[in-house]
Amino acid sequence: MLDYKLYKGHGSEYVVLLHGIGGNSKIFYKQIKAYSKHFNVLAIHLPGHGDSPDIDSYKEKFSFDLIVKEIANTLDKLAIHKAHFVGISLGSIILHQLLKTEPGRVRSAVLGGAITSLNRMAKFLLKIAGLIKGAIPFMWLYRILALILMPKDNHKHSRRFFIHEAQKMLRNNFLGWYQLVAEVETIYTNVQSVKIPKLYISGAEDHMFVNELRADQHGDQHSEIIILNQCGHVCNIEKADEFNRLSLEFLQKHSMEHGDGSCVSF
């Protein structure tokens, strides 16, 4: 059973939040208040984060299928049959898997800093990191990867935030998640055929992933993409006001209660 935080808001529908590796529900601290004005909000702590089970506590192999199963079990416990989902970074990968394997659970999907495939630099870095991960403290590796992923001055707050929260992880949990990153491209396969509304929001400075996202997302008739200027990977923190406005407009547009396209207030 996954750890979670439930924020009772207005309306009967739910927005489920999925964080990135090393993060937790705190990554959405700039969204929860805004979302709660229109929805109930469920922030899930993925395995190895918060008080959720450690990765090596599972009897079966740790995988994206297992993660989706755990999310579904959590929703069942709370009697949430269908919800809107917002995933950031690694959370977008999990959301892609959810769209493919549990589409009946998803009313709409917002994917921030989405990862659909890896460019040559990302693949090279993963290979190097894989060679040295057993020889250095995992937080050294995390700091290096965070700096490469978010190198600019305007990324500094997001970078520090992720590093601070990642210090709460155990080494085995971090390395367990790290092993799954190589499956990103496989996970995105066939997502375009899923007929569920998808909104991709990414920063123009998300240099590791945004160009691949543009190319991969092209042709998906059930998705739209918005690129935020002067913004890096963690767009929901760096450009919180824009992210909130855009995502709420999208969520309300596809809400059963607010399908009339009424204006969003903050």
Is the C-alpha dihedral spanning 121, 68, 235, 263 positive or negative?
Answer: positive
Report if pTM > 0.85: yes
19-23, 66-70, 197-201: segment of lowest average pLDDT:
19-23
Helices (H), 118-232: 120-132, 138-149, 156-166, 171-180, 184-188, 210-217
Residue 265, pLDDT above cutoff 50: no
pLDDT at 258: 61
pLDDT at 18: 97
Residue 39, pLDDT above cutoff 60: yes
Region 53-75: mean pLDDT is 95
Helices (H), the chain: 32-36, 64-77, 90-101, 120-132, 138-149, 156-166, 171-180, 184-188, 210-217, 235-238, 240-253
Region 66-75: mean pLDDT is 97
Q: Mean pLDDT, the chain, as a whole number?
A: 91
175 pLDDT band (50/70/90 cuts)? Answer: confident
Contact 62, 47 (CB under 8 A): yes
Domains and CATH numbers, the chain: 4-253 (3.40.50.1820)
Q: Quick one: how far is CA 54 from the chain centroid?
A: 19
Note the pLDDT tens digit of each residue in 86-134. 999 999 999 999 999 999 999 999 999 999 999 888 888 888 887 888 7
Burial state string for 178-202 with b = 16 or more CB within 10 A and e = fewer than 16: bebbeebeebbeebbebebbbbbbb
pLDDT at 33: 95
225 pLDDT band (50/70/90 cuts)? Answer: very high
How many alpha carbons fall within 13 Å on the CB side of residue 174?
A: 23
Among 96, 174, 179, 109, residue whose Cα is nearest residue 136: 174
More confident residue, 167 or 191: 191
Q: Which one-letter amino acid corresponds to residue 241?
A: D
Q: Which residues contact 228 (CB under 8 A, 6 or more apart)?
A: 201, 202, 203, 204, 235, 238, 239, 242, 243
Residue 146, pLDDT above cutoff 70: yes
User: What are residue 14's DSSP bridge partners?
Assistant: 40
Residue 266, pLDDT above cutoff 60: no
Contact 49, 169 (CB under 8 A): yes
pLDDT at 260: 40
With 0-12 / 13-18 / 19 or more C-beta atoms within 10 angstroms meaning exposed / middle / buried, residue 253 is middle
